[in-house]
Amino acid sequence: MLLRRCAMDGLLAPLSYDFMRQALVASVLVGILCPVAGTYLIVQRMAMLGDVVAHGVLPGLAMAQVLRLPTLLGAFAMGLCSTAVITWIRSQSRIKADTAMAITFSTFFSLGITLLTVLNTPISLEGVLFGDILSITRQDLGQIAIITLLVLSGVKVFYKELLFFTFDPLGAEALGLPVQAINLGLTAAITLAIIAGIKTVGVILVVALMVGPAATAYLLVKELHWMMVWGAGFGVLFGIIGLYASYYLDLPSGPAIGLTVFLGFLLALLFSPRQGILTRSLRARNREDS
């Protein structure tokens, strides 16, 4: 009884602070949104693209401040621009996708840091890079909620088209599906998810939140829709655990969430019923004994 009361006190104590309640709501929303979008990156083996877009939004943040435009608009435009640069490099040369991504990633990241510094914008560079979920406002929550609703609605409406395009883009094009439009829409969804996640865990760690829970689910289930459901569940769980860990252990919230994501992935990697390293070894040993 005493142990249960202590556990309840430990769970409820942080909720007495308004900033913690808002941070928890943000972690739940982003925990659902990012793995759903990240599922497509995992299946298409394009996880590096998330990293490119995450760093590609940096110049947009700086330019939006200078031009007095909404930061969401600037970040979204430059995120799409980074993917367009990758496509352009690949179409104009023999450069492979991974090389084009590496070049674009480093270029946009360098440009973003330069603009944020030279233009003397009020944006905190440390907050952009590492996130500050504890400073999230109600306005930020509103934006994240709208982005989450928009992306999830798009995935639900166009699920079959996205599924076909993800696993067989050539076949989808042969059947007359608007492949270019589908690819643009998917890129836009990934960009919006990354923008929503930057406020919580920052540019550097947002890819961990997109890819980590989805990769964890990938080790446990086969179907795409279950991968999204499990990934979203893991994203919420990892976000909440990381946030509580940062509160009680006095750790930065973004890195705490990032480390929690890795620990969850590591457990699945070791103990997954189908693909776990230890479970495979145990099955092999049982076969040898029999």
pLDDT in tens, 112-138: 888 888 887 777 777 777 777 778 888
For tokens 């590591």, name the residue. Answer: 266
Q: Does pLDDT of 107 surpass 80?
A: yes
pLDDT band of residue 2 (cuts 50, 70, 90) is: low
Quote the pLDDT of residue 8.
67
CATH code of 21-270, in short, is 1.10.3470.10
pLDDT band of residue 95 (cuts 50, 70, 90) is: confident
Model confidence pLDDT, tens digit, residues 253-290? 888 888 999 999 999 999 888 788 888 877 777 776 66
Mean of per-residue pLDDT scores for the chain: 85
Torsions phi, psi for 66 (to 5 deg): -65, -45
Quote the pLDDT of residue 64.
86
**More confident of the two residues 276 and 28:** 28
Q: Does pLDDT of 96 surpass 80?
A: yes
Quote the pLDDT of residue 127.
75
Report which of 201, 197, 185, 187 is spatially closest to residue 260, judged by C-alpha positions.
201
Domain ranges for the chain, please list them: 21-270
Model confidence pLDDT, tens digit, residues 57-78? 888 888 888 888 888 888 888 8
Quote the pLDDT of residue 234.
96
Quote the pLDDT of residue 112.
87
Residue 7 host element (H or E): helix 2-12
Quote the pLDDT of residue 229.
94
Q: Give Cα 24 to chain centroid, integer Å.
A: 17
Asked if 109 and 52 count as a contact pair (C-beta separation under 8 A), the reply is no
Quote the pLDDT of residue 156.
92
Asked if 119 and 194 count as a contact pair (C-beta separation under 8 A), the reply is no
pLDDT band of residue 214 (cuts 50, 70, 90) is: very high
The amino acid at 75: A
Cα distance between residue 172 and residue 257, in whole Å: 37
Quote the pLDDT of residue 121.
76
Distances (CA, A) of 262 to 79, 194, 257: 26, 18, 9
Quote the pLDDT of residue 241.
93
Q: pTM of the predicted model, to two decimals?
A: 0.88
Q: Determine the average pLDDT of the residues in 141-152.
A: 92
Quote the pLDDT of residue 1.
63
Quote the pLDDT of residue 10.
66
